[in-house]
Amino acid sequence: MLLRRSPALLSMGSMHRRRALRDVQPDEIILFSSRRHFLILLRAALPASALALALSALVSGLQVLGVLLAVPVLGAAGGVVVLWLTWLWADWRADLFVLTDRRVLWLERTPFLRETRWEAPLSGIQNVAGISRGPVWRLLGCADLVLDTASRGVQRLHGMTGAHEAASRVIEAQGYSARRTNRIRRFRIETNVEPEPSENSTPETPEMLVWRRHYWILLRSAFRPLALLTVALGVTTLLREPLLLAVMGGVAVLWIGWLVDDWRNDEMVSTADRIVQSRRSPLSLHEETWQASLEKVQDISYSIPSLLAQLLDFGTITVSTAGGGPELGLSGLPHPREISAELNRRLQLHRSCKERALMHEVEDTVRSVLHAHGLAEK
């Protein structure tokens, strides 16, 4: 069975496509893409549309009665309704589902407020379903896409276009990947020939990267000691007591130093084979370190929770592993989209190296079988 590429992604908005696919590998095949059904946009726009119709009727009635003073106010209200509808349309377009030959991706955005992206490898999807809510949804091709994943549990994507086709594509991609891997392994077992090592190029080894929380997190935590230092300066100016300034200023400086050290000790580290999260209090009074091997990582996601986080570009990175273990996560990291893309790139690189190693092993086995039967020169 040949996997079918999806032409639908070419019509997606370029900004949303780049955000969702910034870590897709060159040899990764995009099989299917979709967003929420147009029916979801219509239902969300019903209150704004009803308000627009009511304002139009009111303006017409006032003009008939010769009342013109309220028309500018109603015109301004109409402008608000137009902005409301525009925001709903942008919110509808911002959500994107993508299926590749290796994983599924989901990007969900509320313009100017929040953004979340998660993914799941095909091997981590337990089952998938498309569920239409009634005859209208079924007639219009609208359905919920339900994914039961190993790391995130059940994920329900509400009101998707082509949810039933997406579910079928996921199963097709899973079957193709599993059959390909099983054929390779079965061939090794049936031939019972040890492969001769081939001279392959050394795979890329990513360097260690360290990320710490955004400077805004440090500034926010330092607000109280800075306020104390400001009060000390004001009191000293009024009372002319330098000793008070020295005491309160010293306390504020030590407090700030403690906060800076505490901020520096919270970090997320990525190496060639694992992801490490470390939290350590100043003076090493308390220390926690979590590590996850890339072999066990199922999902790397990010979320940008607020308008301030959007403006300053910080958010939360979450790493989920198989088996329902504790998640690795650090909030307040700068540039969460770039960090998530880099971590996912390393994860995909690790998986690609395993696939290439398996293919090289098969090639070596084939050469060994041919040589054993005198069909090829050593």
State the chain's mean pLDDT as an integer. 78
Cα separation, 228 vs 222, whole angstroms: 10
* Residue 351 DSSP SS3: helix
Q: What count of Cα atoms within 13 Å lies in the side-chain half-sphere of residue 332?
A: 14
Q: Is residue 377 part of a domain?
A: no
Cα separation, 372 vs 378, whole angstroms: 9
Q: How many domains does the chain have?
A: 2
Q: Is residue 201 part of a domain?
A: no
Bridge partner residues of 330 (DSSP)? 317
186 and 218 housed in the same domain: no
Q: Is residue 214 part of a domain?
A: yes
Q: Residue 36's pLDDT band (boundaries 50, 70, 90)?
A: very high
182 and 216 housed in the same domain: no
Q: How far is CA 113 from the centre of its chain?
A: 15
Cα separation, 118 vs 107, whole angstroms: 7
- pLDDT tens readout for residues 39-64: 999 998 888 878 777 777 776 666 65
* Residue 176 DSSP SS3: helix
188 and 220 housed in the same domain: no
CA distances from 311 to 174, 209, 308 (A): 39, 24, 5
Domain boundary residue among 172, 195, 218? 195
Q: Is 218 exposed, middle or buried (0-12, 13-18, 19+ CB in 10 A)?
A: middle
Q: Is the pLDDT of residue 106 over 60?
A: yes
Q: Is residue 315 part of a domain?
A: yes
The model's pTM: 0.71
183 and 253 housed in the same domain: no
**Parent domain of 83:** 8-195
Give DSSP secondary structure letters for 76-115. HHHHHHHHHHHHHHHHHHT-EEEEESSEEEEEEEETTTEE
Q: What is the mean pLDDT of residues 120-134?
A: 86
Domain boundary residue among 195, 229, 258? 195
Angle (deg, nearest 10), helices 242-264 and 223-239: 170
The predicted pLDDT at position 213 comes to 92
DSSP run (H or E) holding 364:
helix 336-372
What does DSSP say about strands 328-334 and 153-161: parallel, antiparallel, or unpaired? unpaired
- pLDDT tens readout for residues 151-206: 778 889 999 999 999 998 988 887 766 555 555 555 555 555 444 444 544 556 77
**CATH code, 312:** 2.30.29.30
Cα separation, 9 vs 30, whole angstroms: 8
Single-letter amino acid code for the residue at 36: R
89 and 140 housed in the same domain: yes
- pLDDT tens readout for residues 300-327: 889 998 889 999 999 999 988 876 666 7
The predicted pLDDT at position 211 comes to 92
170 and 236 housed in the same domain: no
Domain boundary residue among 152, 171, 195? 195
Bridge partner residues of 316 (DSSP)? 303
